[in-house]
């Protein structure tokens, strides 16, 4: 298997331990997730025991070990958004896509995530799709919003 | 005392007893050395202390007994004089609640049962689960510290914390030493019950049928290849 | 960028930049904070730049994409100086008008002015707006005058002069004394006296010594640190430089939460620029003092805001906290070396104190809590945003004078402070002064500065469960009381919310909470029960209503409420029927509509769209 991309990223960060999370996140940008082969390679190059690396990969929520959907939907469940009804929005999305937070739809179109506060509280409730922020969301607006992304 | 080694000792009071302990020794060690018993769960002499179960909690004062704070005694290294109380009403309440939480999570694990029995728990006010792993981490420490392997470690976070080999398959570097198995206080032979009238499932006498992920197949808690049926899956 | 070889060089450069900026007749500061960006301020900036070029004004008007101004509710925000004209909710359609009317002719555009929601008065100047008037923005105020990606802007407003003062002849003991006299306490939540931490680290045995800036701001609803690091990274760098000089450290780390991309991007740009200029790295300003900073990104773990967990994360391990009993991070932290960890806002206060003096600083605030604090005022409040106020101001002043009260005139029920580790303060206590000790006395805490306003439509049991659920997922899972305790608290609160709770469970909740407070390994577990304890203390009646009457007084808990349409108020417009995702509403045009209870999922869409307030919750 080709590991030049992995090696390049590890080297770019100087194989420093404090950059481990950044390294894994940068590698993850390519395939959308971290495969066992990739993690083994990182373990070798950075000389970190695989058990430790696996622990890190399963500890931090931004690191994904399973393939992700085409579109990442993130519902902000920060307190400010919660108080403005983000739960209803989340329930609506769960109903429409038939997945729980952290899961990907069967057709691999969407992965649903929940995050604790994006810091855009003034425009809450916030839903981020593929990096774009959608503010002042409501349960009624969700269906249309998702329809835009169905390809 | 050999003047060449010059081990520093610290004056400490535990449950009213004055003693001099080696600098850097833990409260738990010091208490045990004087015959003062502090109950533990995730602690085992010979392995580094983990401080995960908090059952060894005691009240510690660093200002000569004026104010006390609760601390785990297995990880608290003594570097200056302290006053310790191991058996106050607060500590008893703490231990009872911890035991209740433990046995509600893992009622079939013998160690959990023993701890609950010792603290007089006969009623559990939480929904019962049936976890076979109590996350004491003894297997991990055994593997890393005593056996020189690095096949097991903790993975996940919070309610999903578990003991696992990387990718939940048997690690290539597993030495097959059986150390994890022998030390596990949650040891249960996973009998699948009576399948054919009169016959036991036979897993215990057919080790070849056991999945490859753990040495003697007694673990049910961290391997998804293990066919053990958990009675009530939490979540 | 030319490398500065001495303090003199920096002063010369400062004069040169200020001189260069005099060529501009006007400066337009457009807010580039995350909130305003979410409103589209970046494309607005690009369009404005283009428009200035077309009007041949690029040499006369300086456009800065500035740091967060704090008044997020009104974004995108634009301030025109030197007058200080404040325009809010600016869009691309307004650009030409702004250029021709305000910049060229000097006229004010009425429609872009901020209107006071209570008096209806339109305000022209930033300084007159009540939201800002009641604040004391000694730290945050700089954001609005600089482009965070341009070190020259920071230098122009006096940046790095505190560092020069220090390098020019203050020795570490003097600096520590100055910080001591100022009374600065940690702004991350602990409130620990900063001078003490610095002194302990300075005196600790071990080399090298490390400096850490904690930007793992994880409290939901709090985004002060993000806005500081993103909007004025050099202020933080300068604070760290002064700290490093005092403690004797040469290596520093800024740990930034993953969810803050512009914060780590801007901090990275700032570090690179500072290095180029010789303000970071070897032999800073030719004084022989060396210090450099690396940025580490978080991976999505709230617990990494706890200092020992953060250190574990920097070491490339899982963010599991360490039992903090006999050994503190200042003596044994990163790689078991003395490490001084402070929060972003704490670091940001340092240059302010050094420049203006401890005496000046200590005049602000209360006896036990000096200086100002930046709060993120969010929730059911009109003026959502970041506010910087002197310690000792009352909650009432913050929520009403600055915040403008609740948006729909609903009554305030409680103010939640301190994030998940904090507590809820009932509206009856709105007059308490906000400072470290006063908030702790009433069962809450300052925390990092999150301040969430809750009204009568907020269910306090739901709030408690919200925080418990959050912490349950964020717990590292190592210790039994926290891991199992939070799981069980979530179970019990869910039972209560779904109408299956009992009074015994309320008692059990309380008992469990007290054990978790004492027996947990780290601060997360120890403070996790606070939301439950404070809501039980002040809002026990709500818990009892849920278990005894099986009712949710605030009308929030789905299983205990029903949606219905008030036939008298319903005009039959059909908006609710059209918007109901479950086709649970029936009715003919101009006739009162009805909700079919069996199909109703209580999503609230009907209530959102009804213009006649005809949808009722019971």
Which of B215-219, C353-357, C405-409 shows the lowest mean pLDDT across its residues? B215-219
Chain B hits for A55, Cβ within 8 Å: 153-155
Q: Alpha-carbon distance C260 to C226, whole Å?
A: 7
Block residue for tokens 């919003």: A145
DSSP 3-state assignment of C616?
A: strand
Record: contact C477-B156, CB cut-off 8 A: yes
Could you tell me the pLDDT band of residue C502, with boundaries at 50, 70 and 90? very high
Q: Which residue of C has its CA nearest to B92?
A: C515
Q: What percent of chain B stands above pLDDT 90?
A: 52
Residue A28, H or E segment: helix A20-31
Q: What percent of chain A stands above pLDDT 70?
A: 97
Q: Alpha-carbon distance C77 to C110, whole Å?
A: 15
Write the DSSP symbol of residue C104: I
ipTM of this model?
0.89
How many other CB atoms are there within 10 angstroms of residue B53's CB atom?
28
Question: CA B152 → CA A56, B89, B180, C413, distances in Å?
Answer: 14, 38, 9, 50
Q: Alpha-carbon distance C398 to C400, whole Å?
A: 6
Q: With contact defined as beta carbons under 8 Å apart, do C312 and C182 qualify?
A: no
pLDDT of B102 higher than 60: yes
What integer is the mean pLDDT of C551-560? Answer: 89
Chain B hits for A39, Cβ within 8 Å: 166
Which residue in A36, A54, A61 is closest to B155 by CB distance? A54
Q: With contact defined as beta carbons under 8 Å apart, do B76 and B86 qualify?
A: no
Record: contact C294-A16, CB cut-off 8 A: yes
DSSP 3-state assignment of C440?
A: helix
- Is C315 near chain A, with CB under 8 Å? yes
Question: CA C213 → CA A18, B21, B135, C75, distances in Å?
Answer: 13, 38, 33, 29
CATH among 3.90.850.10, 3.10.20.520, 3.10.20.740, 2.40.128.280 for B9-87: 3.10.20.740
pLDDT of B189 higher than 50: no
Chain B hits for A64, Cβ within 8 Å: none
Block residue for tokens 């104010």: B67
State the nearest Cα–Cα gap between A55 and chain B, in angstroms: 4
What integer is the mean pLDDT of C570-583? Answer: 84
pLDDT value of residue A1: 63
**What residues 388-447 of chain C have any CB closer than 8 A to a CB of chain A?**
416, 419
Record: contact B166-A59, CB cut-off 8 A: no
State the nearest Cα–Cα gap between C569 and chain A, in angstroms: 22
- Is B151 near chain A, with CB under 8 Å? yes
Fold of domain C562-617: Alpha-Beta Plaits (3.30.70)
What integer is the mean pLDDT of C358-374? Answer: 95
Q: With contact defined as beta carbons under 8 Å apart, do A38 and B169 qualify?
A: no
Fold of domain C460-549: de novo design (two linked rop proteins) (1.20.1440)
pLDDT value of residue C599: 84
B74-89, pLDDT tens digit by residue? 999 999 999 999 999 9
Q: With contact defined as beta carbons under 8 Å apart, do C213 and C255 qualify?
A: yes
Can you read off the two tokens belonging to residue C494? 């869910």
How many other CB atoms are there within 10 angstroms of residue C120's CB atom?
7
Record: contact A79-C385, CB cut-off 8 A: no
Q: Alpha-carbon distance B166 to C337, whole Å?
A: 30
Phi-psi region at B168: left, alpha or beta (left = phi > 0; alpha = psi -120 to 50): left
CATH node for C372-455? 3.10.20.600
Question: CA B57 → CA B96, C302, C350, C485, C529, distances in Å?
Answer: 12, 26, 39, 16, 19
B210-225, pLDDT tens digit by residue? 443 343 344 433 344 4
pLDDT of B180 higher than 90: no
Can you read off the two tokens belonging to residue C244? 């490093």
- Is C73 near chain A, with CB under 8 Å? yes
State the nearest Cα–Cα gap between B218 and chain C, in angstroms: 23
Chain A hits for C416, Cβ within 8 Å: 79
Chain A hits for B150, Cβ within 8 Å: 49-52
pLDDT of C225 higher than 80: yes
pLDDT of B233 higher than 90: no
Q: Which residue of C has its CA nearest to A116?
A: C220
* Beta strand extents in C208-276 (DSSP E only): 210-215, 251-256
Could you tell me the pLDDT band of residue A80, with boundaries at 50, 70 and 90? confident
Paired residues of C388 in beta bridges = C374
Could you tell me the pLDDT band of residue C485, with boundaries at 50, 70 and 90? very high
Q: Which residue of B has its CA nearest to C483?
A: B158
Higher pLDDT, B222 or C377: C377
pLDDT value of residue B207: 47
Domain ranges of chain C: 7-129, 151-361, 372-455, 460-549, 562-617
State the nearest Cα–Cα gap between A4 and chain C, in angstroms: 22
Chain C hits for A21, Cβ within 8 Å: 258, 296-299, 313
Measured at the CA of C63, the angle between CA C60 and CA C67, to 5 degrees, comes to: 150
CATH node for C7-129? 3.40.30.10
Block residue for tokens 């000569």: B64
Instruction: Find which of B167, B170, B223 to mutate to test the A interface (most A CBs within 10 Å of its CB).
Output: B167
Alpha helices in C39-192 (DSSP H): 41-54, 95-97, 130-133, 151-156, 161-167, 172-182
Backbone phi, then psi, for C504, in 5-degree steps?
Answer: -60, -35
Question: CA B89 → CA A14, B43, B85, C464, C515, distances in Å?
Answer: 54, 23, 10, 28, 12
pLDDT value of residue B126: 94
How many other CB atoms are there within 10 angstroms of residue B172's CB atom?
10
Record: contact C75-A122, CB cut-off 8 A: yes
Record: contact B159-C323, CB cut-off 8 A: no
Record: contact B161-C481, CB cut-off 8 A: no
Touching C: which chains, 3+ CB pairs < 8 A? A, B
Q: Alpha-carbon distance C259 to C233, whole Å?
A: 17
Instruction: Find which of B159, B162, B166 to mutate to test the C interface (most C CBs within 10 Å of its CB).
Output: B159
Domain ranges of chain B: 9-87
Chain B hits for A54, Cβ within 8 Å: 153, 155, 164, 166-167
Across all residues in chain C, what is the average pLDDT?
A: 93
Question: CA C56 → CA A120, C60, C65, distances in Å?
Answer: 35, 8, 19
State the nearest Cα–Cα gap between B151 and chain A, in angstroms: 7
Residue among A19, A131, A135 at smallest CA distance from A73:
A131
pLDDT value of residue C222: 87
B21-78, pLDDT tens digit by residue? 999 999 999 999 999 999 999 999 999 999 999 999 999 999 999 999 999 999 999 9
Which residue in B51, B104, B126 is closest to C521 by CB distance? B51
State the nearest Cα–Cα gap between A99 and chain B, in angstroms: 15
Strand pairing report for B9-14 and B82-85: parallel
Record: contact A116-C470, CB cut-off 8 A: yes
Residue among C32, C82, C28 at smallest CA distance from C55:
C28
Interface residues on A facing B, Cβ-Cβ cutoff 8 A: 36, 39, 49-55, 58-59, 61
Please give the domain boundaries of chain A with CATH numbers for all domains.
Answer: 4-59 (no CATH), 71-147 (3.40.30.10)
Which residue in A39, A49, A61 is closest to B150 by CB distance? A49
Can you read off the two tokens belonging to residue A145? 């919003």
What architecture (CATH level 2) is domain C151-361?
3-Layer(aba) Sandwich (3.40)
The arrangement of strands across the sheet holding A71-76 comes to A110-115, A71-76, A127-129, A132-134
Can you read off the two tokens belonging to residue C187? 């702004």
Q: Which residue of C has its CA nearest to B76?
A: C325
Across all residues in chain A, what is the average pLDDT?
A: 88
Could you tell me the pLDDT band of residue A147, with boundaries at 50, 70 and 90? confident
**What residues 118-177 of chain B have any CB closer than 8 A to a CB of chain C?**
125-127, 135, 154, 156-161
pLDDT value of residue B214: 43
Can you read off the two tokens belonging to residue C424? 């809820």
Can you read off the two tokens belonging to residue A140? 């009624």
Paired residues of C122 in beta bridges = C115
Which of A142-146, B90-94, C248-252, C530-534 shows the lowest mean pLDDT across its residues? A142-146
């Amino acid at each position: 298997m080709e590991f030049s991309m992995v090696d390049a990223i590890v080297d770019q960060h100087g194989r420093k331990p404090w950059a481990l999370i950044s390294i894994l996140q940068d590698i993850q940008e390519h395939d959308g997730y971290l495969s066992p082969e990739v993690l083994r390679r990182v373990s070798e190059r950075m000389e970190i025991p695989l058990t430790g690396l696996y622990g890190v990969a399963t500890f931090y929520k931004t690191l994904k070990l399973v393939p992700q959907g085409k579109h990442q939907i993130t519902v902000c469940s920060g307190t400010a958004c919660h108080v403005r009804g983000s739960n209803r929005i989340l329930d609506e999305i769960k109903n429409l896509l038939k997945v729980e937070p952290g899961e990907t739809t069967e057709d691999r179109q969407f992965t649903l995530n929940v995050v604790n506060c994006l810091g855009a509280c003034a425009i809450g409730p916030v839903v981020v799709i593929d990096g774009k922020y959608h503010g002042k969301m409501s349960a009624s607006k969700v269906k249309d919003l998702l329809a835009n992304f169905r390809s | 005392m050999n003047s060449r080694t010059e081990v520093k000792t610290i004056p400490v009071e535990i449950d009213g007893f004055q003693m001099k302990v080696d600098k850097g020794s833990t409260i738990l060690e010091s208490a045990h050395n004087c015959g003062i018993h502090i109950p533990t769960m995730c602690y085992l002499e010979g392995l580094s202390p983990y401080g995960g179960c908090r059952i060894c909690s005691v009240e510690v004062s660093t200002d000569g007994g004026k104010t006390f704070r609760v601390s785990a005694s297995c990880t608290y290294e003594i570097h200056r004089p302290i006053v310790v109380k191991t058996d106050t009403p607060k500590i008893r309440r703490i231990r009872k609640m911890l035991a209740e939480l433990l046995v509600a999570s893992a009622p079939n694990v013998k160690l959990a049962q023993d701890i609950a029995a010792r603290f007089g728990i006969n009623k559990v006010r939480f929904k019962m689960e049936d976890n076979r792993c109590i996350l004491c981490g003894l297997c991990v420490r055994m593997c890393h510290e005593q056996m020189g392997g690095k096949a097991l470690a903790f993975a996940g976070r919070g309610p999903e914390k578990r003991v696992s080999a990387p990718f939940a398959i048997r690690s290539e570097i597993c030495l097959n030493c059986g150390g994890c198995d022998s030390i596990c206080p949650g040891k249960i032979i996973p009998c699948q019950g009576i399948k054919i009238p009169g016959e036991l499932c036979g897993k215990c006498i057919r080790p070849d049928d056991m999945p490859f992920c753990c040495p003697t197949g007694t673990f049910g808690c961290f391997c998804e290849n293990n066919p053990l049926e958990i009675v009530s899956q939490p979540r | 960028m030319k490398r500065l070889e001495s303090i003199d060089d920096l002063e010369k450069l400062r004069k040169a930049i200020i001189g260069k900026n005099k060529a501009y007749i006007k400066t337009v500061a457009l807010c580039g904070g995350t909130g305003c960006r979410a409103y589209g301020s970046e494309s607005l900036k690009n369009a404005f730049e283009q428009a200035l070029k077309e009007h041949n004004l690029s040499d006369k008007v300086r456009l800065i994409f500035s740091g967060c101004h704090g008044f997020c509710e009104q974004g995108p925000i634009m301030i025109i100086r030197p007058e200080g004209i404040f325009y809010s909710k600016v869009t691309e359609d307004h650009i030409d008008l702004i250029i021709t009317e305000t910049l060229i002719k000097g006229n004010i555009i009425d429609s872009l002015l901020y209107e006071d929601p209570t008096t209806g008065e339109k305000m022209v100047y930033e300084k007159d707006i009540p939201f800002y008037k009641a604040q004391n923005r000694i730290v945050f105020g700089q954001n609005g005058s600089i482009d965070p990606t341009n070190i020259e802007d920071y230098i122009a407003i006096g940046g790095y002069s505190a560092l020069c003062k220090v390098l020019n002849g203050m020795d570490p003991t003097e600096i520590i004394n100055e910080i001591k006299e100022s009374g600065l306490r940690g702004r991350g939540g602990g409130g620990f006296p900063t001078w003490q931490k610095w002194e302990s680290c300075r005196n600790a045995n071990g080399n090298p010594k490390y400096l850490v800036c904690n930007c793992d701001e994880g409290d939901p609803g709090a985004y002060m640190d993000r806005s500081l690091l993103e909007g004025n990274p050099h202020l933080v760098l300068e604070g760290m430089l002064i700290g490093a000089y005092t403690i004797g450290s040469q290596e520093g780390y800024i740990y930034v939460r993953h969810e803050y991309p512009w914060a780590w991007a801007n901090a990275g740009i700032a570090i690179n620029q500072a290095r180029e200029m010789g303000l970071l790295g070897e032999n800073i300003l030719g004084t022989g003092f060396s210090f450099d900073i690396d940025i580490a990104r978080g991976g999505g773990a709230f617990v990494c805001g706890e200092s020992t967990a953060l250190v574990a994360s920097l070491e490339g391990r899982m963010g599991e906290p360490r039992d903090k009993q006999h050994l503190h991070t200042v003596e044994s932290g990163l790689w078991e070396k003395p490490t001084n960890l402070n929060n972003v806002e704490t670091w940001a206060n340092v240059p302010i104190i050094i420049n203006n003096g401890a005496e000046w600083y200590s005049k602000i605030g209360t006896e036990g809590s000096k200086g100002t604090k930046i709060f993120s005022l969010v929730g059911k409040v009109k003026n959502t945003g970041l506010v910087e106020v002197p310690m000792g101001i009352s909650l009432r002043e913050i929520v009403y004078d600055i915040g403008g009260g609740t948006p729909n005139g609903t009554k305030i029920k409680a103010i939640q402070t301190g994030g998940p580790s904090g507590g809820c303060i009932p509206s009856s206590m709105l007059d308490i002064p906000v400072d470290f000790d006063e908030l702790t006395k009433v069962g809450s805490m300052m925390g990092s500065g999150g301040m969430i306003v809750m009204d009568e439509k907020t269910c306090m049991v739901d709030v408690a469960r919200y925080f418990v659920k959050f912490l349950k997922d964020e717990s590292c899972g190592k210790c039994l009381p926290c891991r199992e305790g939070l799981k069980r608290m979530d179970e019990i609160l869910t039972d209560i919310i779904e109408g299956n709770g009992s009074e015994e469970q309320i008692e059990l909740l309380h008992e469990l909470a007290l054990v978790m407070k004492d027996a947990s390994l780290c601060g997360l577990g120890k403070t996790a029960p606070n939301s439950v304890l404070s809501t039980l203390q002040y809002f026990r009646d709500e818990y009892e209503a849920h278990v005894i009457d099986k009712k949710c007084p605030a009308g929030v808990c789905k299983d205990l409420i029903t949606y219905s349409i008030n036939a008298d108020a319903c005009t039959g417009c059909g908006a609710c029927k059209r918007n109901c995702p479950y086709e649970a509403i029936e009715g003919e045009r101009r006739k009162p509509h009805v909700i079919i209870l069996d199909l109703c999922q209580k999503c609230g869409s009907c209530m959102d769209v009804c213009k006649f307030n005809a949808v009722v919750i019971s």
